[in-house]
Chain A
Amino acid sequence: MSDGTAPQAAPPLLSLSGLAERPWYRALRAILRVYVRNRPAVVGAVILIGFGIVAALAPLLAPADPLQTEQTREAVFNSPSWDHLAGTDRLGRDVLSRAIFGTRIAWQIVIVAIGIAVGLGVPLGLLAGYVGGKLDELVIMRVVDAVMAMPGLILILAVVGATGPSLTNTMIIIGVVWAPGYARLTRGIVLSIKQEVYIDAARAIGAPPARIMRRHMLPNVIAPVMVLASLSAAGIILTEAGLSFIGAGVQPPTPAWGGMVAEGYRTMLTRGAWPLVAPALGIILLVMSFNFVGDGMRDAMDPRLRNVR
């Protein structure tokens, strides 16, 4: 965009000194400065990275094959030992190895589901907010309201009833059910900046709506969407664990944490709780980390809360 006076030299793309002058870079630095002061948020981020590494390197880290059964009386329901650090389950499988591969499933579901939720929700929200009118009021927001009025787990269970349970179905359904939240957030932001001078200016020089949405509105949405993504990652893992626990999510023998807890629970009263300890810790730790990171990001990005602490 030319401002009509003197033509300005384009800022160098790959210069570090140029980078430091960019406003978004300075904003990011400011956010990061607040973020690193929040100790739980930093610990959460470290744990998340740790889980990410475990998920990526699962085949190297797992001491045994997560599906390898050994159904002898000596091999099943072992308490933790040097051979099996987290014990063995009812089929003699190594619980630690299964929990390690379970990390993969958890990350996979989070990434795919959030990808779907953002990919559906953000464009819908941009459209609803920018175009407005009947499309917004009568169609998009009504559907968003209806979906959000329903408790997520119940809606998801209903869809599972129609499609049958599987890993793929779980990821897709969770993604679709989470999308309205992103649509509503995006729409709210678009409505709040719609009347800003720079949007008027872009429109005045004849920028087409698609370009205005992409270049001028989308950047305002990114930071809040990142916060929501981190917080909804926690909710997604909880939901998936619940689904797998009641048998409506990832199906055995695939090692999903919720399913592992369910299997361990069935024999808990007679054979003890060891088979469910590792997956239970996995769920709690991963969800907690996402919650702390999301909280830290929100506190760092919301200037109103910044002064509270």
Chain B
Amino acid sequence: MSRYIATRILSSLVILWIVSLVSFLLMNLLPGDPSFGIGGIESTPESLAAIRERLHLNDPLMERYFRWLFNALQGDLGLSLINQVSITDQFARRLPATIELGVLSLLVVVMVAIPVGVLAALRPGSKREVTASTTMIVGNSVPEFLTGIALILLLGLELDLLPVGGYVSIGEDPIENLKRMAMPVLAISLTATTLLMRQTRSAMINVLNDDYIRTARAKGLRERTVIIRHGLRNAMIPVVTIFGFQVGLIFSGAVITENVFAIPGMGRWFVESVVINQDFAIIQNVVMFFAVAVVFVNLLVDLSYPLLDPRIRAGRETA
């Protein structure tokens, strides 16, 4: 059991290490010279050289990599290339909006997807099931930004129920904060919900065909007990497995949606750094943030398997 936990933690660290190496090399080996972006059109070869010197761009690659890694582990993410402000400070300012978006979206996704997925699995082939699975595919085909725009047109302009964008922190005004979060959260949740719903549905269909379900029914258990205690509990493993993926999907959704609704979070910052500023220092740190978040959730998922499946608890790793 402790061996299982140790392997999972170790392999998470390995993945993060690979991501850090890849994102660092990507930013530093591909063509493009950040000093030019900082110096601007009027820069001379001398001023460019001075900028390169100041940014330590002339140091050996590996030295720079380990300096970044070492400082980052101590909470110092360095300075942005464009205006030389502390990236750690910016992180602190950008993080709350994105974390709130993510947590609220995940809540909506789980609370809608799992019950509906179970219901859709109960009678495969029935009209309700076919409608549900068709709706899932349709919902799965609309990109977050179009959902967002449709919500703005409907709830924001037509019905005038909600403000169409911007961000107010939860400490400042909790009600206004929720009002402004409602549409972005809905836009992000739609895709993730349909995916989790499909996963729940197919896991439940598989499980409900198993012999022990027939046994449970045969010994006279109530249908509710059969479905929840015997069905859902066993169907949870494949459902929980895609949680890490779900969180990734929600973050991707946040990157897009923050741009639709003008929310000053990590996603908007990331896009600004990529599209407008090409600020490598910010990009590599933001990528690491998303990687740490997703890998951490995946680790939690792995660690939850022993709780869900006694076979793993007993140390027989079959999956």
Contacts and interface: CB of A to CB of B under 8 A. Distances in A.
Given A142-B18, A153-B256, A309-B125, 19 more contacts: A149-B244, A149-B291, A150-B287, A151-B249, A157-B274, A158-B26, A160-B274, A161-B278, A163-B30, A163-B32, A164-B278, A238-B143, A242-B252, A245-B256, A245-B259, A247-B275, A248-B271, A284-B142, A287-B143
Given A245-B145, A246-B271, A149 B15 contact: yes
B145 A261 contact: yes
B141 interface: yes
B252 A151 contact: yes
A158 B287 contact: yes
Nearest to B273: A161
A186 interface: no
A79 to B, nearest CB: 15
Interface string B123-137: 011000000001001
A154 B271 contact: no
Contacts, number: 142
Interface of B: 11, 14-15, 18-19, 22-23, 26-27, 30-32, 124-125, 134, 137-138, 140-146, 149, 152-153, 157, 164, 205, 244, 248-249, 251-252, 255-256, 259-260, 270-271, 273-275, 278, 280, 283-284, 287, 290-291, 294-295, 298
A168 to B, nearest CB: 14
A159 B137 contact: no
B19 A150 contact: yes
11 contacts: A149-B15, A150-B290, A151-B252, A154-B252, A158-B23, A161-B27, A161-B278, A162-B280, A234-B141, A273-B153, A308-B205
A158 B149 contact: no
Interface residues of A, number: 47
Please report whether the interface of chain B is mostly helix, strand, loop or mixed according to DSSP: helix
Contacts of A16: none
Given A153-B252, A245-B256, A284-B141, A308 B275 contact: no
Given A40-B134, A247-B275, A308 B124 contact: yes
Given A150-B248, A248-B275, A280-B146, A269 B137 contact: no
Interface string A122-162: 00000000000000000000110110011111110111111
A276 B249 CA distance: 24
Interface in A18-63: 40
A286 B65 CA distance: 43
B260 A265 contact: yes
A247 B275 CA distance: 7
B163 to A, nearest CB: 12
List the 7 shortest-distance A-B pairs measured between CB atoms, nearest first.
A151-B248, A288-B141, A153-B252, A161-B274, A146-B18, A162-B30, A287-B141
A226 interface: no
Interface in A113-128: none
A12 to B, nearest CB: 43
B256 A162 contact: no
A261 B149 contact: yes
A273 to B, nearest CB: 6
